[in-house]
Amino acid sequence: MQPDPEHCRYLDQECPLTLAEGLEEFAAANPGLIPSDESTELGRLTRAHDACHVLFGLTTAVEDEALADTWTLAASTVTLREYMQYLKHEEFTDLIKQIGAWPMIRGSVRAIPRALKIFGRSRRMKERWPFFGYRDYLDTPLAEIRRRFGIELLPRPTH
């Protein structure tokens, strides 16, 4: 039985799971993710993106995807150019087509108030998250990583 994405342990600020365990939980809760085979450019980008979902406590709901992009660009070392490479891959554009334009627009607009909070929280971080350096933290508990970098997760919305 797969875990409910909204009740994963990695979503808690003080989660004791390591980043590797959080990534496993994230993958188990989200079957059908874009493969993160690190032998390809897309796989490396996907794995780093998934690590951001886990680190910043986000699911794959459309609104959370917009927030993951915001956290990634505001609080990590990835450049806009590098991140845009990820968005250009066929697997990603196909996923956007599957979701549909209207749900993407609606989710992104609904994310704006929370995205604005991310900018403030990212400026208070002690240092930026090393987007491609996540492997160095795979064995580190999420709570410890969050304390080290000064990451304060957004509260989960109560829909």
pTM of the full structure: 0.88
Mean pLDDT, residues 115-138: 97
- Tens digits of residue pLDDT in 26-66: 999 988 776 677 778 778 888 999 999 999 999 999 999 99
Model confidence pLDDT, tens digit, residues 96-124: 778 777 887 888 899 999 999 999 999 99
Q: Which amino acid is at 117?
A: K
Q: Contact, 118 vs 69, CB < 8 A?
A: no
For the record, the structure tokens of 151 come out as 């990451």
Report the alpha-carbon distance of residue 155 to residue 18 in Å, rounded. Answer: 20
